[in-house]
Amino acid sequence: MTSRMPTLGTDPLDTLRTTISGSVALPGEPGYDAATPWNLAVPVRPRAVIAVESAFDVVTTVRFAAEHDLKVAVQRTGHGAVPLGDDVLLVYTARLTECTIDPGTRTARLGAGLVWQQVIDAAAPHGLAPLAGSSPNVGVAGFLTGGGVGPLVRTYGLSADHVRAFDLVTGNGDVLRVTPDQHAELFRGLRGGKATLGIVTAVEIDLMPLPSFYGGALYFDGADAAAVAHTWLDLCADLPEHTSTSLAFLQLPPLPGVPRPLAGRATVSVRFASVADAADAEAIIGALRGVATPILDGIGTLPYTALGAVHADPVDPMPSHEYSALTRDLTHEAIDALLAVAGPGSHSPQTIVELRLLGGALDREPRHRSVFCHRDAAFSVMVIGVLAPPVADAVVPHTHVLDRALAPWTTGTAMPNFAATGDPARIARTYDDDTAHWLGALADEHDAHGVLRVGQVVRTSR
Ligand SMILES: Cc1cc2nc3c(=O)[nH]c(=O)nc-3n(C[C@H](O)[C@H](O)[C@H](O)COP(=O)(O)OP(=O)(O)OC[C@H]3O[C@@H](n4cnc5c(N)ncnc54)[C@H](O)[C@@H]3O)c2cc1C
């Protein structure tokens, strides 16, 4: 790290520019657009983008903001971007790329700028695997501070339950190593609290001895959606913990990268990821092959490096709108209700309407408490609509239709990773009242000037 003496310039940000080893980019300057979020619909227009290279850079930014009455937000990929305006300095973490795999302890130390595929690829030569999310392009720190529900969630639980330590910069500008024993209250609050308690610069996690898994996705024609969805729900009823699954109604555009059989039509995808041996997993999955003939069959023993193939989430940045919910147990009436508003022939404008089975290991309290609430939800609902013609105007109103249709089963709660918003009412849905109060009070203690009071954070009302 190089540190230079501050010099005076016409813009106070010149002081920051000359003090940190990373870079400061104002609107129109090179580097500003690097922070264009994956979700292009979210207006991320901070005063400056601070591409940090060290914890020192983050501390300096936080202290600078406190002195100049500015806020500080953090972003890596913008998969969970929140609107930011010109009262905000945006800490952009992409240059924090430390990645150390320790095969002996089966752990990894990861800079906050890594995305999951980088970690997956680094761990794979050792036969080890991180508990990544469905999209390998999501950032490690954003995912883990939101809990992290990955394709193997029913087997291993929340990814954040497998964190060993965080390096944290608080709103007070303190640099802390946070573990179950050091700053234990922060260790609890960082797992599920997003950036409420500070900016994570590095994280240490457990790795699983998992060179491969059995799974992937079966894709069916939209005409088979009802039969497939009802059979899938039956299969969910007593699915062993060694297997996780989700179902998605898809309307993928005919764009490069979208497999031809799936492009420009309604399809339904059933995803599996199992750590059982292939024969046991196939015995479960085979039930679906009897219902209809898949138009694409991507199930098999896959190297862990292909984890992203399970959900095949969209890769390229796009203007999108998300809707999410958690549900209690779903009935066949719920499937019919969903088919009516989001299935083939419903004129749904949504690109992806996903039901993810939860439960299993997720539903057990981990060894170390976290602020991730609502572990007992049975399913998550995740809807992504693309805000582009010809459906741009229909996407948001249709989420209200979906919401009403599913109301008999939804719990009114949400998971932090699927609640990218600065709206306190929506953030409140991700925690129970006691947890939100505890988290907000802890945040106030570690951020006396309210520097981090922006975006998806929990605070007391003062
Ligand atoms: C296509 C898609 C698939 C997804 N799949 C899953 C999934 O399978 N499971 C799941 O749990 N989630 C999933 N998500 C949600 C995703 O995990 C969250 O949006 C997450 O916040 C993304 O992290 P990021 O750093 O890439 O995003 P960013 O938009 O860069 O960050 C989002 C937020 O994360 C927090 N954050 C980011 N970096 C830091 C940091 N260094 N320190 C502290 N806080 C930080 C901040 O609150 C920030 O506003 C998915 C999202 C999309 C769009």
CA angle 42, 48, 53 (to 5 degrees): 105
Q: Among residues 209, 230, 265, which one ends one of the domains?
A: 209
Are 324 and 379 part of one and the same domain?
Answer: yes
Are 395 and 306 found together in one domain?
A: yes
User: Does residue 246 sit in the same domain as residue 368?
Assistant: yes
As given in the structure block, the two tokens for residue 245 are 């699954």
Beta-carbon count within 10 A of 163 CB: 26
Q: Which atom of ligand 1 is nearest to the CA of 145?
A: 44
Instruction: Give me the domain span that covers residue 344.
Output: 212-418
Cα 448 from chain centroid?
Answer: 28
404: domain CATH number is 3.40.462.20
Within-domain flag for 191: yes
Q: How far is the CA of 315 from the centre of ligand 1 (A)?
A: 14
Is 397 exposed, middle or buried (CB count within 10 Å of its CB: 0-12, 13-18, 19+)?
exposed
Atom index in ligand 1 nearest the CA of residue 76 equals: 30
> What domain count does the chain have?
2
Contacts of residue 270, defined as CB under 8 A and 6 or more positions apart, other chains included, come to 217, 218, 220, 228, 232, 245, 246, 247, 288
For residues 327 and 307, membership in a common domain is answered with yes
Q: Are 153 and 362 in contact (CB under 8 A)?
A: yes
Tell which atom from ligand 1 comes closest to the C-alpha of 456: 47
306 bridge partner residues: none
Residues 158 and 184 reside in one and the same domain: yes
Q: Is the dihedral of CA 144, 146, 152, 153 positive or negative?
A: positive
User: H or E segment at 50?
Assistant: strand 48-51
Classify residue 203: in a domain, yes or no. Answer: yes
Residue 63 Cα to ligand 1 midpoint, Å, equals 25
Are 245 and 271 in contact by the 8 Å Cβ rule? The answer is yes
Beta strands in 199-308 (DSSP E): 199-206, 212-221, 243-252, 265-274, 296-297, 300-303
Considering the domain architecture, whether residues 313 and 337 belong to the same structural domain is answered as yes
302 shares its domain with 331: yes
User: How many Å apart are CA 158 and CA 147, to the nearest integer?
Assistant: 6
Largest CA distance in the chain: 72
Domain harbouring 119, CATH code:
3.30.465.10
Q: How far apart are the first and last CA of the chain?
A: 37
* Distance of alpha carbon 411 from alpha carbon 405, whole angstroms: 13
160 and 242 both lie in a single domain: no
Q: How far apart are CA 410 and CA 88, in angstroms?
A: 35
Of 165, 191, 209, the one marking the end of a domain is: 209
- Domain membership flag for residue 281: yes
Distance CA 198, CA 195 (A): 5
Q: Assess if residue 201 is contained within a domain.
A: yes
Quick one: 256 and 382 in the same domain? yes
Q: Do 221 and 333 share a structural domain?
A: yes
Shared domain check, 228 and 114: no
State which of 209, 233, 255 marks the end of a domain.
209
| Cα 430 to Cα 252: distance, rounded to the nearest angstrom | 29
Residue 266 lies in a domain: yes
Asked if the structure places residue 55 within a domain, the reply is no
Pocket of ligand 1 from Cβ distances under 6 Å: 37, 74-82, 93, 112, 133-135, 138-139, 141-143, 145-146, 148-150, 194-195, 199-200, 313-314, 417, 420, 455-456
**Quick one: 203 and 220 in the same domain?**
no
| 88 domain residue, yes or no | no
Q: 103, 211 in Cβ contact below 8 A?
A: no
In a domain, residue 112? The reply is: yes
Closest residue by Cα to residue 314 from 33, 39, 35? 39
Span from the CA of 226 to the centroid of ligand 1 (angstroms)? 32
Tokens of 451: 């520097």
User: What is the residue-level pLDDT of the chain in tens, covering all 462 positions?
Assistant: 344 444 445 688 999 999 999 999 999 999 999 999 999 999 999 999 999 999 999 999 999 999 999 999 999 999 999 999 999 999 999 999 999 999 999 999 999 999 999 999 999 999 999 999 999 999 999 999 999 999 999 999 999 999 999 999 999 999 999 999 999 999 999 999 999 999 999 999 999 999 999 999 999 999 999 999 999 999 999 999 999 999 999 999 888 888 999 999 999 999 999 999 999 999 999 889 999 999 999 999 999 999 999 999 999 999 999 999 999 999 999 999 999 999 989 999 999 999 999 999 999 999 999 999 999 999 999 999 999 999 999 999 999 999 999 999 999 999 999 999 999 999 999 999 999 999 999 999 999 999 999 999 998 865
